[in-house]
Amino acid sequence: MSFGQEFTFKVRAERICTFTRQVSNSSEWSDLHGVASAGEKLLPGSAEKGISLGWARRTSLARMVTHVVLFKFDRMDDAQQAVQRLLSMRGRVPSMLEVEAGIDFTRSARSFEVGLVTRHNTRADLEAYQVDPVHQEVAQFIRAHSSGAAAVDFES
């Protein structure tokens, strides 16, 4: 088994990267190729190499736009429904690469009940996500049931 391999793939539509990943043992090799099987989205053009977006991000190969929103809810059942609806966007919004959502467990006075993180290739993809019908349906539910929100968008 070879433990060094060169990968060429698109990090974003506008640029192609080539790099060599040296792995020192078979467990690192499995990690490199096994990440995609855990459900992470592959980078465009990398299906034959098994390079996932998450792996590329962890190795600083791709910059992306991160969208973070915190929501206040008066009723925890509404918060739980919101999380389910947020997670239901996975794979249904083309301009969204990743989605994470969950209920706050610290429950301090300054806490929000729900946190959302989405990742996008570009600012234009974030804008497309904002108007996507799937996102709009989820946002409509949240606006009707939440009592407040805070958001931040940044490149990571």
**pLDDT value at position 62?**
62
Does residue 60 or residue 98 have the better pLDDT?
98
Residue type for 113, please? E
Task: Looking at the structure, tell me whether residues 74 and 137 fall in a common domain.
Answer: yes
Average pLDDT over residues 5-12: 43
Which residue, of 12, 27, 58, is where some domain finishes? 58
Which residue, of 21, 43, 58, is where some domain finishes? 58
Q: pLDDT per residue over 108-129, tens digit each?
A: 999 999 999 999 999 999 999 9
Task: Looking at the structure, tell me whether residues 50 and 74 fall in a common domain.
Answer: no
Task: Looking at the structure, tell me whether residues 92 and 77 fall in a common domain.
Answer: yes
- Whole-angstrom distance, CA of residue 49 vs CA of residue 42: 9
Task: Looking at the structure, tell me whether residues 79 and 47 fall in a common domain.
Answer: no
pLDDT at 103 over 90: yes
Task: Looking at the structure, tell me whether residues 102 and 134 fall in a common domain.
Answer: yes
Q: pLDDT above 90 covers what percent of the chain?
A: 59
Across the chain, mean pLDDT equals: 77
| CATH code where residue 92 lies | 3.30.70.100
**pLDDT value at position 23?**
42
Q: Which residues pair with 116 in a beta bridge?
A: 69, 101
Task: Looking at the structure, tell me whether residues 88 and 42 fall in a common domain.
Answer: no
Q: Which domain holds residue 121?
A: 65-155
C-alpha of 55 from chain center: 12
Neighbours of 88 (CB within 10 A): 14
Question: 11: pLDDT confidence band, cut at 50, 70 and 90?
Answer: very low
**pLDDT value at position 63?**
82
**pLDDT value at position 92?**
98
Distances (CA, A) of 134 to 4, 33, 85, 123, 138: 42, 31, 10, 18, 7
**H-run or E-run covering 99:** strand 98-103
pLDDT at 45 over 60: no
Q: Which of 4-13, 45-54, 75-84 has the lowest mean pLDDT?
A: 4-13
Task: Looking at the structure, tell me whether residues 77 and 142 fall in a common domain.
Answer: yes
Average pLDDT over residues 49-66: 62
Task: Looking at the structure, tell me whether residues 85 and 108 fall in a common domain.
Answer: yes
- Spatial CA neighbour of 12 closest among 58, 51, 64: 64
**H-run or E-run covering 134:** helix 133-145
- List the structure tokens of 107: 């429950």
Task: Looking at the structure, tell me whether residues 117 and 139 fall in a common domain.
Answer: yes
